[in-house]
Structure 1
Amino acid sequence: MPSFVDLFSGAGGLSLGLVRAGWTPLLAVDQWPDAVRTYRYNFPDHPVVEASLEALTAKQLRALVKGTPDWVVGGPPCQGFSTVGKRLREDPRNKLVHEFARIVDTLQPQGFLVENVVGLRDMDFVDAVTALFQGLGYTVTSMVLRAADYGVPQLRSRIFFVGDRTGRSFDRPRPTHSPLNYVSVDDAIGDLPALAPGESARTYLQSPATTYQRKMRRGSMSIQGHTASKHPQHLIEAISHIPDGGNRRSIPAHLQPKSGYHNSYSRLHSGSPAVAVTQNMGKPSATRCIHPTQHRGLTAREGARLQGFPDAFHFSAGSTSQRLQIANAVSPILAEAIGRALSDETQWQGPTLLAAE
């Protein structure tokens, strides 16, 4: 099965999904200590290095990676590519994507996978990333994937770039879900213990009620990271007026928060997927992250469930860091779907496939 190197590995969402798809990890690299500790805890047999990519020389990389990996994967920041009118290589925000490209050029894998936020999808960005890797000899396919279409209880979309050295182009993974059978918020977190603001729980109080809940609880005897943020009493009273799936318009005038955007102070809808899990998931003032029925923001564990991390996957450090690790991750469920598709020859088109026929 394919081997891979995971750059900007974070907590390990991409690695977890690819391993579940049958891939073999050769190395993970990240410079964030909390995320590296999380990765090491959950993947004790995976080689992982805490370092910045800039600090890794070609010689060090070849020493760390035994043999040639089939794939180099990761999510380098690419914001500078969307800046119109600037020379791309001079934009400091492009430094890390060029480091990613340097490592691809050093290791010469069969293919690469780059993930990033879909908000950067404009023609300058897509064309610039494509041109960067075409210059290294790769055929590049870009696609936007919605997590909910692959069984993740979240509507978040991400852009992916797939590169292949043999001239093939990749056809996106076939969706497994549609709006008719999306996994909902309640499907995902409805079995977790109810909490008031400031409370926490480590023990399951009820049996799983859905296929998704059973999947998330497999191999776990307790709950880690299920701690609710404290909220002032006036905020708790204000959000208590918001119905399931509702927004701040339901808050009485005398309790209306004085700040925030139109989509702040909104509840998740229990019967739909979450919109997007962000690092501010514990703050009611953030974008649609109030629990559907409880008067508080989400816990790290609820965020992890909505991202597709199983309960047996533990996150290091405090709640703030845990939430950031979760929000920054690629959903393991989506990563597994991508990994299986990349391993499926019927998902590819191009010279190599035609030659084989």
Structure 2
Amino acid sequence: MKNAPVFIDLFAGCGGLSLGLLQAGWKGAFAIERTADAFLTYRHNLIDSVRFQYDWPEWLPKHEHDIEAFLDEYKDQLASLNGEVDLIAGGPPCQGFSPAGKRNPKDPRNRMAEKYIEVVRIVKPKFLLLENVRGFNAPFEKASKGKKAVPYSHVVKRRLQKEGYNVEFRVLVSAHWGVPQMRPRFILVATRKDLELDWSPFGELLENRHSFLKSHGLDFGCLQTTKDAIDDLRVEGKELIDSTDGSVRGFKQIKYQELASPSAFQRLMRIGIGEGQGPNSLRLPRHRTHIVERFKRILEECPKGRTLTQEQRDRYGIKKHSITPLCPDRPSATVTTLPDDYLHYCEPRILTVREMARIQSFPDWFEFLGQYTTGGSQRTKSCPRYTQVGNAVPPLLGEALGEMVIGAIAQLGASQRKVA
């Protein structure tokens, strides 16, 4: 397209969705993210780099912003963007909706979707893209009190319709767009009614899936597996060196070496990084000897790709609610923000940040910044690297969605030229 369409990303995290949109041909206006570490990663890779184009407004400082404080302080400036923005994208915090959590309808994080709608009400973009966990489309049954339980997705749909949008949503499986991870995600797409655009977003998305995968060198006939994603990052056969990033000493990492015959997915992830150059965030965990032995037994005795049962966890003395040895020959289960939820498929350890990033489809040139992990009182306030990766929208899925909306904009432009 001659003039790249413009997007705003709300609840941007470290930039997974923005990266996908930018790679699809979009131009960034600005992004709102409340945690300093995640925004630091976002800014380093997407704003300050020379890879992509942003028209960041002078009135907005380039640092982290809480969405509520942002709306209080910059409402007038936002109003000046009315009609100037093509897309508002975002993934409001999902913990209150997640099947993996407590699914608490009173979780204060649920109201962040309301803040998304408030920005939409002010800016009135042509299109909307909202991502969340699939639980966003499931009712809070305990909260119904005898009434028919309604998923929060339906509440959001009605409110956006009142704001003048046609709304469609669907749960998509990320693995169908080249991500080596199942990761089902709720995706909402909305189009401003006055545009009078006749299109079927999800129909076009599915129709273009073959060409999307082919353009990335991926096989339409099979899903990308965990081994496809991370087998070149194994410790076996590699030289170990001191960890090259992070503020804590004493950790090791592999000295990266490309495989003689890399998978198509590995080749895709290596685009944009120097030949033989290793990605960042390769720091290996430091497990105690008895933990390594426990992990070895799990890998030898338990089926891959299945979460350990309560009986198995008791047998190994594991107090964690969930731990899964990954299967090399299938896409990974949905990665979380907790690094010890999964074991490597053939090495007795948890995954590195980079291995999780590969499973999320972040390219190797994308560098994660900040602490690797946090604990105690800092856990709710900070956003370390593992959390940044686990919370992100897979960039490949974001790119497919970005291409879908660009197709609609092209169709809109063609119809306007006919009228003229």
TM-score, with structure 1 as normaliser: 0.84
- Structure 2 distance, partners of 1:343, 1:257, is 52
Partners of 1:136 and 1:52 lie apart in 2 by 24
Structure 1: which 5+ runs fail to align?
Answer: 83-87
Task: Quote the residue 2:226 is aligned against.
Answer: 185
Superposed CA offset, 1:225-258 (max 9, x none): 0112222222211221224726657x99996124
Aligned residue in 1 for 2:284: 228
Pair 1:334-2:397 in alignment: yes
Q: Distance in 1 between matches of 2:31 and 2:409?
A: 29
- Which residue does the alignment assign to 2:368? 315
Residue 86 of structure 2 aligns with which residue? Answer: 70
Identity in percent:
32
Give the counterpart letter for 2:126 in structure 1. Q
* TM-score, structure 2 normalization: 0.72
- Residue 118 (structure 1) shift: 0.6
2:118 is aligned to 102
Matched, 1:212 2:268: no
**Unpaired runs of 5+ in structure 2?**
57-61, 99-104, 139-149, 214-218, 241-249, 374-383
Cα pair distance change 1:127/1:190, threshold 3 Å: same
In structure 1, the partner of 2:246 is none
1:162 aligns with 2:189: yes
Question: How many residues are matched?
Answer: 338
Local SS of the residue matching 2:116 = helix
Q: Which residue of 1 is the match for residue 243 of structure 2?
A: none
Query: Partner residue of 1:42?
Result: 45
Tell me if 1:298 matches 2:298: no
Aligned to 1:16: 19
- Specify whether residues 161 and 59 from structure 1 end up closer, same or farther in structure 2 by C-alpha distance, changes over 3 A only: same
Counterpart of 1:143, as a letter, is: R
2:329 matched residue in structure 1: 271
- Which of 241, 244, 259 is 2:319 aligned to? 259
The farther-off stretch of 53-62 and 128-137 is: 53-62
- The residue type paired with residue 5 of structure 2 is P
Note closer, same or farther for the CA distance 1:253–1:318 as it changes in structure 2 (3 Å cut): closer
Alpha-carbon distance in 1 for matches of 2:93, 2:29? 22
Distance 1:205 1:81 in 2: 40
Cα shift at 1:135: 1.4
**1:117 matched residue in structure 2:** 133
3-state secondary structure, aligned to 1:190: helix
When residues 39 and 212 of structure 1 are mapped into structure 2, their CA distance, relative to the original with a 3 A threshold, is same
- Which stretch has the larger CA shift, 93-102 or 1-10? 93-102
Question: In 1, Cα distance between the equivalents of 2:133 and 2:286?
Answer: 30
C-alpha root-mean-square deviation of aligned residues, in Å?
3.2
